[in-house]
Structure 1
Amino acid sequence: MFFRLGTRKSKLALWQANFVKEKLESLGCKVELVLITTTGDKILDSPLAKIGGKGLFVKEIEEALLKGEIDLAVHSLKDVPMVLPDGLTLCAITERENPYDVLISKEGKKLEELPPGAVVGTSSLRRQVQIKRKRKDLKVEVLRGNVDTRIRKLEEGLYSAIVLAYAGVKRMGLEAYISQVLEDFIPAVGQGSLAIETREDDPKVQKYVKALDHWESHLRAMCERAFLRELEGGCQVPIGAFSWIESDKIYIKGFVSDLNGERFIEGVEEGKVEEYVEVGKRLAQKLLASGGREILKEIY
């Protein structure tokens, strides 16, 4: 079988695409990478919340998939919008890497060790509010670009520290830069997993792609995505969620916050593993009833 795999051009995206390419080729497929520039790759001087959010990194790739120009696509799951275009499906979710955020600082200082007024860079509202809740005396500024670009800006002295996803840092072989793993920060929905997207009516491709699916990571991802979809959240709202499975139960912890981190509504929900979608929805409904609905109305 010969497949064309669509991907963005960044080093991290290419690592992810080659990871999937190698897995498929081990199953006897031949895979060609098709490099696609997305809107999110072109606009680097504005916060994602102001220019459209998650879909900016997948729209052009999904269009190529629908047109038949590629046969499958690989995305960071956290970049994939909650509603997929008609005719497309998330056929597989790979085994999840460490889902947490990390702090990288020039002198190896932890978040609590940074001096008052230190500038911390991140493009994520979710990260911004959690930084502010820990350290109101720090200055948080928008930082866009790929992993290499962000680290370079740190080294040039534009920031005292930056916050990135552990998974991306590890995949780029840059773990030595990590000053602190922020395990008390609630991650982005799906952070650490890769999503492989295919056309719904393409069983030949799906037969091979499904062999790369990791059952537990898939269930956890769908639980978290159900939570986010119920909240109707996107990049304009600080929202995070993380789920885990113990025995026959699935648990999810999540939050929704105003833009300043002053009203921070969080909670935990649990249920049977097979109820993974309903568990995510229940947590969202709990947060909405506890003040989340008012926060969302104000932001939107």
Structure 2
Amino acid sequence: MTISQEKPLVTDNIATDQTTLNIATRQSPLALWQAEHIKARLEALYPELTVNLVTMVTKGDKILDTPLAKIGGKGLFVKELEQALFDKRADIAVHSLKDVPMELPEGLMLGAYCQRAAPTDAFVSNQYESLQALPEGAVLGTSSLRRQCQIKAHRPDLQIKTLRGNVGTRLSKLDAGEYDAIILATSGLQRMGLDERIRGELDVEVSLPAVGQGALAIECREGDESVLSLLAPLNDDISRICLIAERALNRHLQGGCQVPIAGFALLDEQTSELWLRGRVGSEDGTTLLKVEQRCQLSGTQSEQERQAEQVGIEVAEALLAQGADQILNHIYNK
């Protein structure tokens, strides 16, 4: 069951203190970095504003011995944060956008799409320089079916082994010799100051990024105009258009956050051309469907957002026409 199907209890309205803003965040080092980053930006914008972090442990943080796809996907990392919004214990929640389900609970919205960082996947290894340099039969660690299906399509000879835990835990498992190499999000490593662990970024032709990868999004209550006003300067228009297109693609495929769906959009600021690429693949990499589409955006910001969403839907329809639904249904049934 996805988070959008569950309806958290909504407590009675509590007046918001306009001089204070509470941020719900997970306790993992990367999540705390993200929340602290937004906290610092808000405090720089509004010196009189007191910003507090409300830390919590999510179900996804507690279950570390099972692949995410088998326990409900990455929506497990946001449910408790969303409940804090409903309970008015927090005013906003900071998320890695790729962890956010495609459908939000009624009453919540994404109030800001922040400027996107590196969207790519990073190759990390203590012995090998690149994915291509891995020997036949090497053990590669990843928690993502999206990465798995694309890498298996590129290197079917590799052994893919599930890798869970926060960034530090995953690196420790690599250092302990459990894997020959692992794949992590470039942005996560960079945000943690671990650039030196990156041997290289995977070409998007080899591993197209996840929908929303590299972007931070801020969730809040619908209709909370005072909070939306505070968040407005954090919005990045270019990133927002691209991310709307990507999420529309995933939503139309009825995809979650932990399925073999890739979606990556680029917007040319000079020409207003939006380029969206989408992929769906089987777990073993034997089937990898690819669709791309370009569209000239025009009109107001809201009109361009609608056009971006339509591009996402059309790319999803083209993937479905190639058989994406059969691949996804097989995975959901498992």
Query: For this structure pair, what is the TM-score category when the shorter chain's length is used for normalisation?
Result: over 0.9
Instruction: Report the AA paired with residue 286 of structure 1.
Output: A
Structure 2 residue corresponding to 1:263, chosen from 253, 265, 287 = 287
2:113 to 69, 93, 102: 93
What displacement does 1:171 show?
0.3
* Pairwise CA distance, 1:115: 1.2
Could you say which residue in structure 2 is the equivalent of 1:127? 147
Partner in structure 1 of residue 58 of structure 2? 38
Q: Which whole-Å CA distance do the structure 2 matches of 1:103 and 1:253 have between them?
A: 22
Cα displacement (A) at 1:74: 0.1
Matched, 1:240 2:262: yes
Residues in 2 aligned to 1:74 and 1:297: alpha-carbon distance in whole angstroms: 31
Match of 1:73 in 2: 93
Moved more, 33-42 or 107-116: 107-116
Work out the CA distance in 2 between the residues paired with 1:163 and 1:117.
16
TM-aligned CA deviation for residue 162 of structure 1: 0.3
TM-score, normalization by structure 1 = 0.98
Note if 1:162 corresponds to 2:182: yes
Could you tell me whether the CA contact under 8 Å between 1:237 and 1:257 is conserved in 2?
no
- Deviation by residue 1:150-190 (Cα, 9 ceiling, x = unmatched): 11110110100000000000001111111121023100000
Deviation at residue 235 of structure 1 after TM alignment: 4.3
Aligned-partner residue type, residue 293 of structure 1? D
Structure 2: gaps (5+ residues): 1-18, 298-303
Corresponding residue SS for 2:157: coil
Cα distance in 2 for residues equivalent to 1:135 and 1:251: 27
Q: Aligned Cα RMSD in Å?
A: 1.0
- Count the aligned residue pairs: 300
SS at match of 1:187: coil
Q: Distance in 1 between matches of 2:272 and 2:155?
A: 38
Give the 5 Å matches for 1:53-68.
Answer: 53-68=73-88
Structure 2 distance, partners of 1:129, 1:74, is: 29
**Corresponding position of 2:214:** 192
Asked if 1 retains the 8 angstrom alpha-carbon contact of 2:25 and 2:56, the reply is: yes
Deviation, 1:201, is: 2.1
- Does structure 1 residue 225 correspond to structure 2 residue 247? yes
2:226 aligned to 192, 201, 204, which one?
204
Partner of 2:8: none
- Give the CA deviation at 1:135: 1.2
Q: Distance in 1 between matches of 2:107 and 2:296?
A: 30
Q: Is the contact made by 1:123 and 1:143 (CA closer than 8 Å) also made in structure 2?
A: yes
The secondary structure found in structure 2 opposite 1:296 is: helix
Is the CA contact 1:237–1:259 (under 8 Å) kept in the aligned structure 2?
Answer: no
Determine helix, strand or coil for the equivalent of 2:119: coil
Match of 1:298 in 2: 330
| Contact kept? 1:48, 1:235, Cα under 8 Å | no
SS for the counterpart of 2:52 is strand
The DSSP-based 3-state class of the residue aligned with 1:14 is helix
Paired residue secondary structure (2:322): helix
Equivalent residue number for residue 83 of structure 1: 103
- The 8 Å contact of residues 150 and 281 in structure 2, kept in 1 or not, is answered as no
Summarize the Cα distance change of 1:58–1:236 in structure 2 as closer, same or farther, 3 Å threshold: closer
1:4 to 5, 8, 22: 22
Distance (whole Å) between structure 1 residues aligned to residue 258 and residue 36 of structure 2: 31
Under a length normalisation based on structure 2, what TM-score does the superposition of the two structures give? Answer: 0.88
Q: Which moved more, 1:193-202 or 1:103-112?
A: 103-112
Q: Residues of 1 paired with 2:101 and 2:191: CA distance?
A: 23
Decide which of 15, 23, 26 is 2:41's aligned counterpart.
23
Q: Secondary structure at the match of 1:111?
A: coil
Q: Equivalent residue for 1:281?
A: 313
SS at match of 1:21: helix
* CA deviation after TM superposition for structure 1 residue 3, in Å: 0.5
Q: Is the 2:156–2:285 Cα contact (8 Å) retained in structure 1?
A: no
Q: State how far apart, in whole Å, the 2-side matches of 1:139 and 1:172 are.
A: 28
**Mean Cα displacement is larger for which, 109-118 or 92-101?**
109-118
Aligned residues of 1:105 and 1:179 also touching (Cα < 8 A): yes
Q: 2:273 aligns with which of 244, 249, 258?
A: 249
Superposition deviation, residue 294 in structure 1: 2.2
Q: Is the 8 A contact 1:102 1:163 kept in 2?
A: yes
